[in-house]
Amino acid sequence: MNDESLEHKRLVEAVLFASKEPLGEKKLSNYFQEGVDVKSLLKELQEEYAGKGVNLIRLGNAWAFRTAPDIAEHLSEHRENVKTLSRAAIETLAICAYHQPVTRAEIEEIRGVSLSKGTLDVLFEAGWIKPRGRRRTPGRPMTWGTTVSFLDQFGLEKIDDLPGIEELKSAGLLDARPAINAYSVRGEMELPFIHPEQDQDEDDLPEPLLEE
């Protein structure tokens, strides 16, 4: 490797370490002149950090440094997170993840109840869903899907890493309502839900999202 290539790799390394969020290859390429192969630089860095305490991992179309999985538990600090999500928000997030891109009307049809005005706003403000364009149907409704931050929060490299139907069944996280069973996810999965005991919306009953 010549001095110029080494300098390029060091710059990518520094930018990723300094960033508070995962960065895509296109954004990283803005730090270089045209013709620099950013993808190769990232692959080299990924290999160099493979056996270290910090790994370079891919999150969708973005990259970030994260603690190696085998030592992460030694650095964990368990405390209650002040952020909460209602059951309706959890279900809506699951629908967006497994059925994206999905419209508000489709979310309501799958859940079998109306969606309160602020549910999508909460998930959008958390950075876990984003607009995915408008559906080419009457009214041109907005569609929604998950973000890189969603993948990062739940430890996923890509959306296909979401648990499959057998995993969900064994964990007891599949809802048996007819409206939900009418939909399939990627041709082989049904929508997971968090043990719904009642059919009505429970936006007023917040649940702890997770612990850090």
Residue-wise pLDDT for 101-110, tens only, equals 999 999 999 8
| pLDDT the model gives residue 140 | 92
Nearest-angstrom CA–CA distance, 140 and 129: 19
Percent with pLDDT over 90 in the chain = 36
Whether the model pTM is above 0.75: no
Q: Is the dihedral of CA 182, 185, 190, 192 positive or negative?
A: negative
CA distances 180 to 29, 53, 105, Å, are 43, 42, 14
- pLDDT (average), residues 176-185: 44
According to DSSP, residue 58 is labeled: E
Strand order in the sheet with 23-24: 23-24, 62-67, 54-59
Torsion of CA 9, 15, 20, 26, to 10 degrees: -80
Nearest-angstrom CA–CA distance, 71 and 63: 20
Nearest-angstrom CA–CA distance, 98 and 190: 8
The mean predicted confidence, pLDDT, of the chain is: 78
| pLDDT the model gives residue 173 | 53
- Considering the domain 3-73 in this protein, what is its CATH number? 1.10.10.10
Q: In the predicted model, is pLDDT for residue 198 greater than 60?
A: no
Fold type of domain 84-207: Arc Repressor Mutant, subunit A (1.10.10)
Same fold, 3-73 and 84-207: yes
Kindly state the helix (H) or strand (E) to which residue 131 belongs, with its residue range: strand 129-134
Residues 6+ apart with CB under 8 A from 50: none
Number of helices (H) and strands (E), helices first, in the chain? 10, 8
Q: In the predicted model, is pLDDT for residue 178 greater than 50?
A: no
pLDDT: which is higher, 42 or 117: 42
Q: Where are the domains of the chain?
A: 3-73, 84-207
> Residue 11: how many CB atoms within 10 A of its CB?
15
